[in-house]
Amino acid sequence: MEISTLATYHCLAFVWYFFVTYSITHVRTEERPSEVFLYGGQWKYLTVLNLVLQAVFYGVSFLADALRLIKKLRCAKCIISSRDLLFSVLAFPVSTFVCLSFWTLYTYNRELVYPKSLDGVIPLWLNHAMHTAVLPFAVLEILATPHRYPAKKKGLILLGFVAFLYISWVLWIYSVTGKWVYPLFALFSPAGLAAFFTCSLAIIVSFYSFGEFLNRMIWGQSKFWF
């Protein structure tokens, strides 16, 4: 894909994610179900945090494209390195996990992840923007441009650290409010919850490996910064 076309795509994707993030964080206060938006607001949900992550990623991607267009290659190389790390370790695996885990649980019992009370607050298009569109965007990014993956050990350590931070945030909210971020968690004993978190981490690691596999199959092992 031409750099100018890629820059246009990344700019539009950034604007889209900024708009979606703005939309979900500005749901009118009086319409929020009290049992859903307690301590931590929307910032306790992985879905919303993923929207911010995607906005940051596409913003960095657009900056890298712009630097390449104006021939600032030394600066672009540094930004591209950050872009590739963001995408490989976080943007692709988290988007894939958010989409597939949400719709799997929603199909099984929506009250475990997305209570029916939210239907009158969050419009259908916004629900799909948060939980459905994120996966096609991630796949399109792999098809649009190659990404350099870090050494496997480094990538998994970074992914595991971010997962640990989010789990700690979820547990902290429970310790403060006595309410779980997702009703699903209330079904588990402490041991069961630990097993659930471990399985979730294993799944997101598999998505990381799958993204690396797709990237390698499409673009090969060449050094493809420029």
Q: In total, how many domains does the chain have?
A: 1
Q: Is residue 224 part of a domain?
A: no
**Listed range (25-29, 67-71, 137-141, 196-200) with the worst mean pLDDT:** 25-29
Decide if 225 is inside a domain: no
What b/e readout covers 64-95, taking b as 16+ CB neighbours within 10 angstroms?
A: bbbbbeeeeeeebeebbeebbbbbbbbbbbbb
The answer as to whether 187 is a domain residue is: yes
This prediction has a pTM of 0.91
pLDDT value of position 105: 94
Taking Cα atoms as reference points, which of 205, 213, 202 lies closest to residue 159?
A: 205
Residue 28, pLDDT above cutoff 80 = no
Average pLDDT of the chain? 90
**DSSP 3-state percent helix, strand, coil across the chain (nearest 5):** 80, 0, 20
Identify which of 222, 208, 74, 75 has the alpha carbon closest to the alpha carbon of residue 154.
208
Its domain, for residue 57, covers 3-219
pLDDT of residue 214: 95
In a domain, 121, yes or no: yes
Looking at residues 47-61, what average pLDDT do you find? 96
- Whether residue 226 lies inside any domain: the answer is no
109 located within any domain: yes
- Is residue 9 in a domain? yes
What is the rounded CA–CA span in Å between residue 86 and residue 92?
Answer: 9
**pLDDT at 13 exceeding the cut of 70:** yes
The position carrying tokens 């657009």 is 62
